[in-house]
Amino acid sequence: MHLPVYEVRRHGKVLGRVETKHIGGARRVFYFAFGIHPSTGREVRLEGNTDLEERIVTVCRFADAPDDYSQHMGGYSGDRA
């Protein structure tokens, strides 16, 4: 089953994305946020949880203040710039 990926934009500019995933035997869907670092253009893996709206807000806040966020699981998710 293909789960949705949400592109997060502000004023037409892509700030990042939120991926939908099922984890193991969990009943609920989890949402994982990825932000695009505004200075480097690199994609940074942010945290995940079960609240889609909160993940979208996280991507927007990361775009405004990337130094306030630690990278989840130790690093960049890849060079997508």
* Residue 79 reports pLDDT greater than 50: no
- pLDDT digit string (tens) for 5-39? 999 999 999 999 999 998 888 788 999 999 999 99
Q: Where are the domains of the chain?
A: 5-72
pTM across the whole model: 0.81
Q: Are 43 and 35 in contact (CB under 8 A)?
A: yes
- pLDDT digit string (tens) for 38-67? 999 999 999 899 999 999 999 999 999 998
Q: Which helix (H) or strand (E) holds 8?
A: strand 5-10
Which pLDDT belongs to residue 33? 96
Task: Strands of 12-71 (E only): list them.
Answer: 13-22, 29-36, 43-49
DSSP string for residues in 23-80: -TT-SSEEEEEEEE-TTT--EEEEEEES-HHHHHHHHHHHHH-GGG-PPTTSSEEE--
